[in-house]
Amino acid sequence: MLGNEILSQAANSFGFDTNSLKFVSNSCNVVYRFNKGDKEYFLRLSEKPVEFEFNIKAEVHWVRYLVERGIHASLPIQTFEGELTAVCKHYEKCYIATVFEGAPGIFFDSNPELWGPSLFKTWGETMGAMHRLTKSYDPGDLKYKRMEWDVAEINNPHLHFGNYQVLLNKLRTIETEMKNLPKGKESYGLIHYDFHPYNFLIDQGEITVFDFDDSLYGWFALDIGIAATHAVWWGSHFKAWRSKDEFAKHFLNEFLEGYIKQNNIEQEWIQRIPLFMEYRNISSFFWWLTNWDGNEENLNDSQKNAIIETVNRIESGKLLDGCDIQL
């Protein structure tokens, strides 16, 4: 939780009462909930250098563009000065504040009956519409342009030995293949990059997406692969599927049926989705191991088993669980 000075600056910019704030989470950003009138809002505070404001402005500008063209997403609201961000400073600390309207609905795991073909198609249709719209998106001033996908920087020295080196070598192999892929307008553009089931709410069959702070320029099929990877992680157990691969193929068949209603995707890119799923699986290890101190005792059993299982599959020449599919 943050001190009153930072919160007061945000309140003065966006026009809310700090006494109404309720703490929600503190992971990549600090998030609070508040009500104003009869509406719910979320205050997001990102601890970043002031220069990073341009990057966040680029994110929320794109989100407003999508919402104004019919995408159900949490709308970023403006400050009294008509800006989409506010810089809040106190001593050496600097936070970039943004505020989003709340969204109706529940998460997918609140009701097991929600998890099925209808949701998968709607999810795909929403992403397809976003990709179609982004083809015409112009950020204007290039200083407000989001970053391009690039290979990961792995600076933790503990990740260059043993099993972690095996994972890293696999990541670098996939990244090399990705770097050589074409970047045409029909296949590459601004994507959410984290459109997983905990980043949207479901209300009467419609979904509202949020949490665009990972958005970047990448391949549309990569966005699909990320969604599929997370669907396998969190939803392949909901029914008695014989394997994660079987569930992944079922999910993608339904998802792509919705997707192509809104955006065309060539078969060559559909066939690359399993590659992007492998990329997401491997890169996730380096996300949660970023600050690992090299002490195996600080990893839980689930993490240790995931590393061992993944390394065994790589060394056996097998695709990762959930990625061994033909589309």
Residues 185 and 87 in one domain: no
Cα–Cα distance for residue pair 39/103, rounded to 1 Å: 10
Residues 223 and 289 in one domain: yes
pLDDT digits (tens, 9 = 90+) for 277-325: 999 999 999 999 999 999 999 999 999 999 999 999 999 999 999 999 9
Examine residue 321 and state whether it is found in any structural domain, yes or no: no
Examine residue 18 and state whether it is found in any structural domain, yes or no: yes
Examine residue 324 and state whether it is found in any structural domain, yes or no: no
Residues 155 and 256 in one domain: yes
Examine residue 124 and state whether it is found in any structural domain, yes or no: yes
Residues 138 and 160 in one domain: yes
Per this entry, what is the length of the chain? Answer: 327
pLDDT category, 11, cuts 50, 70, 90?
very high
* CA torsion through residues 315, 280, 27, 110, sign: negative
Residues 212 and 228 in one domain: yes
Higher pLDDT, 140 or 315: 315
Q: Is the pLDDT of residue 1 over 70?
A: no
pLDDT digits (tens, 9 = 90+) for 23-74: 999 988 999 999 998 899 999 999 999 999 999 999 999 999 999 999 999 9
Examine residue 327 and state whether it is found in any structural domain, yes or no: no
pLDDT category, 3, cuts 50, 70, 90?
confident
Which tokens hold the place of 280? 């997401």
CB burial of 131-156 (b: ≥16 within 10 Å; e: otherwise) equals bbbbeeeeeeeeebbbeebeeeebee
Residues 176 and 290 in one domain: yes
The pLDDT value recorded for residue 17 is 92
In a 10 Å sphere around its CB, with 0-12 CB exposed, 13-18 middle and 19+ buried, how is residue 103 labelled? buried
Examine residue 120 and state whether it is found in any structural domain, yes or no: yes
User: Rounded to whole angstroms, what are the CA distances from 91 to 7, 9, 67?
Assistant: 14, 13, 36
Residues 74 and 131 in one domain: no
Print the domain residue range for 97.
4-101
Q: Is the pLDDT of residue 327 over 80?
A: yes
Domain boundary among 101, 121, 146: 101
The pLDDT value recorded for residue 239 is 66
> CATH number of the domain that 282 lies in?
3.90.1200.10
Examine residue 325 and state whether it is found in any structural domain, yes or no: no
Residues 186 and 279 in one domain: yes
Residues 194 and 63 in one domain: no
Cα–Cα distance for residue pair 134/188, rounded to 1 Å: 9
Residues 248 and 144 in one domain: yes
Q: Is the pLDDT of residue 238 over 70?
A: no
| Total domains present in the chain | 2
> CATH number of the domain that 25 lies in?
3.30.200.20
Domain boundary among 40, 67, 101: 101
Residues 222 and 154 in one domain: yes
Across the range 133-137, mean pLDDT stands at: 97
Looking up tokens 């979320």, which residue turns up?
Answer: 42
Give the DSSP per-residue string, 167-200: HHHHHHHHHHHHHTS---TTTEEEE-S---GGGE
- pLDDT over 90 for what percent of the chain? 91
Cα–Cα distance for residue pair 318/310, rounded to 1 Å: 9
Domain boundary among 46, 80, 101: 101
Which residues in the chain belong to E strands, given as ranges?
22-26, 30-36, 39-47, 86-90, 93-101, 188-191, 200-203, 206-209, 216-219
Residues 122 and 66 in one domain: no
Examine residue 252 and state whether it is found in any structural domain, yes or no: yes
pLDDT digits (tens, 9 = 90+) for 79-116: 999 999 999 999 889 999 999 999 999 999 999 899 99
